[in-house]
Amino acid sequence: MLTLEKEDLSKLYYTIGEVADMFGVSTSLIRFWESEFQFLKPHKNSKGDRRFTKQNIEQVQLIYHLVKEKGFTLDGAKKEIKENRVKLLAKTHLIKTLTDLRSKLLDLKNRAE
């Protein structure tokens, strides 16, 4: 599962371009997902530019995981999210925590050598 490092999410808001770069997808795909998944609603400034919060990025990460990594159709992903959203978000958080822990342990190992 694609995981984002903690330092990657240090800002309050991210542009659509930054979010697209995080996931290696196009900005048009992010806008498409926004139109398809009702819960994905980034803030918009007075010019209409999207501003994604950490929560929005976690939502994109969930969609990305289901659609790009697990191969769900959009309808399948919507159904999975509707039925198991809390469980999926907890699983995503757990995987991120374990990945961060692994990274820290590898850093400790490398310092000890």
Q: Residue 84's pLDDT is what?
A: 82
pTM score of the predicted model? 0.70
The CATH number of whichever domain residue 34 belongs to comes to 1.10.1660.10
Phi first, then psi, for residue 59 (nearest 5°) are: -65, -45
Number of domains the chain contains: 1
Residue 40 lies in a domain: yes
Domain range for 23 is: 6-112
* 1 assigned to some structural domain: no
CB 50 within 8 A of CB 16: yes
- Please report, in tens digits, the pLDDT of each residue of the chain (113 residues total): 555 654 466 788 999 999 999 999 999 999 999 999 999 999 999 999 999 999 999 899 989 999 999 999 999 999 988 888 778 778 777 888 898 899 899 999 899 88
d(CA 36, CA 6): 28
Cβ pair 64, 25 in contact under 8 A: yes
Residue 94 lies in a domain: yes
Whether residue 100 lies inside any domain: the answer is yes
